[in-house]
Amino acid sequence: MYLNRLVLMLLISINLTPPAFSQMTSDYPLRPVRVVNPSSLGGGGDVVARILTPELSRLLGQNFYVDNHPGAANIIATEIAAKAPADGYTLYLAATGTFVTNPLVYAKLPYSLSSFQTISNVADAPFILSIHPSLPALNFKELLNLAKQQPGQLTYASFGKGSTPHLAGEMLQVLTGIRLIHVPYKGSAPGMADLIGGNITMTFDAGMASIAQIRAKRIRPIGVAASKRLDVLSDLPTLEEQGLKQFYAGSWYGFMAPAATPRPIIVKVYETLIKALHQPRVEERIHNLGASVGGSTPEAFFAQIQAEQLRWAEVVNKAGIKPE
C-alpha cells in the first residue's frame, strides 16, 4: 500500500514539476539581478558591464546591476559568483583571461571551470602596450633597446599574479630576452593611474582602459598585441608589424552563471545578450573602446576557454612560473 502511494506521488510530481519549472523560468527575472564583476571602477570589465546591464534591464524588465569586487587576480569576485545561489539572480561577467590563467599559477583556488555554466562571450579586446611619455622610446624597437640597456629596471603593471597582463609581460620577456619587474595591482584602473603618474614604466591593457588616456597624451602607445590594427587607432602598428612575431594578448569578457543554474535561464540570458549586442548603440560603444563584439554560444565560449588554457599553459611553462 505504501509503495503504491509512493509511486502515485512520484507520478504526480513528474506531471506537475515541468509546467511549474517552466513557469518559473519563463517569468524570469522576477526581481533585480546582480552581475558580479571583478574589475575595479573604470576597468575594462566594468565598462563592458555598464554598457550591457542597462540593455538587459530594458529587454527583460528588471534591474540588472553591477557589483564590483576587484583584487587578488579576480579571485575574490569569481569565488563570490561561484558560491552564489544558482537561481539566475547572480550572474558573473568574467573579465579577462584570469579565469583561464589563475588555475595555471595558483595551486589552490576556491572555484574551477566546473563551478560555472558559460553563457556567452560578449567582447574581445586586444591589449595595447603603452608607456609613460617620459620614457625615451617612440616605438617597439626603441623600447626594446632601452629595456636591454636597463635590465631589471623597467616596470610593468598587471591586475594580479597570473592575470593576462602579467603573463603578457612574461611572454614578452621570453620572446625578447629582456628583464622587467612585474608590479601587480588590484585592478586595471589603479595600474593605469600609476602609469599616468609615472610610478611605473609600462602596461599591457585593453583599449577600454587605454584609449582615452592615449588620446589625452597621458600615456604613449607602442603597439597593439594582435594580428591587425585597431580601427579606432588605425595609425598605431601592431607589435607583429614591428618585429615581434606570434604575439597576441588581450582581454575577453563573458557572462557566466553558477553551475546549477537552470538551463532555461541560461538560454534566456544568452538570447537576450545577443539582442543587446546587436543594438547599434551597443556595437558602436564597444568598437569605440577598441574591442570587437562577441556573441558566442555557451558551447563556443566554453571551447574558447579550453583553447586558451592550452595556450597560456605553454607561456607559464616557458616562463618557469610555478603554482603557489
Domain with 214 in it: what CATH number?
3.40.190.10
Question: Does 201 share its domain with 297?
Answer: no
Q: What was the pLDDT predicted at 7?
A: 40
CATH number at residue 112: 3.40.190.150
Question: Does 154 share its domain with 207?
Answer: yes
Question: Does 67 share its domain with 212?
Answer: no
Whether residue 240 is contained in a domain is answered as no
Give the single-character DSSP code of 260: T
CB 191 within 8 A of CB 169: no
Region for 120 from its dihedrals, namely left if φ exceeds 0, alpha if ψ lies in -120 to 50, beta otherwise: beta
Residue from 166, 172, 168, 98 nearest 126 by CA: 168
Q: Grid coordinates in use for 183? A: 608590479
Whether residue 245 is contained in a domain is answered as no
Number of domains in the chain: 2
Question: Does 146 share its domain with 98?
Answer: no
Q: Grid coordinates in use for 112? A: 574551477
Question: Does 229 share its domain with 131?
Answer: yes
Residue from 51, 4, 94, 22 nearest 265 by CA: 22
Neighbouring-strand partners of residue 35: 66, 91
CB 291 within 8 A of CB 123: yes
Q: What's the gap between Cα 19 and its chain centre?
A: 37
Whether residue 2 is contained in a domain is answered as no
Question: Does 50 share its domain with 140?
Answer: no
Question: Does 100 share its domain with 137?
Answer: no
List, in sequence order, every beta strand (DSSP E) within 170-311.
181-184, 202-206, 220-224, 250-258, 292-293
- Tens digit of pLDDT per residue, the chain (324 long)? 433 443 433 333 344 444 444 555 679 999 999 999 998 887 778 889 999 999 999 999 999 999 999 877 788 999 999 999 999 999 999 977 788 888 988 889 999 889 999 999 999 989 999 999 999 999 999 999 999 999 999 999 987 777 889 999 999 999 999 999 999 987 788 899 999 999 999 999 988 789 999 999 999 999 999 988 998 999 999 999 999 988 889 888 999 999 999 999 999 999 999 999 999 999 999 998 889 899 999 999 999 999 888 888 988 888 888 887
Residue from 204, 195, 208 nearest 43 by CA: 208
* Domain housing 216: 127-233
Phi, psi (rounded to 5 degrees) for 9: -65, -40
d(C-alpha 203, C-alpha 206), whole Å: 10
Whether residue 53 is contained in a domain is answered as yes
Q: How far is CA 126 from CA 13, 136, 142, 239, in A?
A: 51, 25, 22, 11
Q: What is the largest CA-CA distance in the chain?
A: 89
Question: Does 219 share its domain with 310?
Answer: no
CB 309 within 8 A of CB 100: yes
d(C-alpha 159, C-alpha 65), whole Å: 23
Q: Beta strand 155-158 with 181-184: parallel, antiparallel or unpaired?
A: parallel
Question: Does 183 share its domain with 216?
Answer: yes
**Where does a domain end: 233, 261, 293?**
233
Question: Does 60 share its domain with 132?
Answer: no
Question: Does 211 share its domain with 283?
Answer: no
Whether residue 228 is contained in a domain is answered as yes
Whether residue 26 is contained in a domain is answered as no
Question: Does 93 share its domain with 53?
Answer: yes
Whether residue 160 is contained in a domain is answered as yes
**Where does a domain end: 233, 266, 297?**
233
Whether residue 141 is contained in a domain is answered as yes
The model's pTM is: 0.81
d(C-alpha 220, C-alpha 155), whole Å: 15
Q: Grid coordinates in use for 280? A: 547599434
Q: What was the pLDDT predicted at 36?
A: 97
**Where does a domain end: 204, 233, 262?**
233
Question: Which residues, at least 6 apart from 139, have a Cβ–Cβ distance to it below 8 Å?
Answer: 222, 223, 237, 242
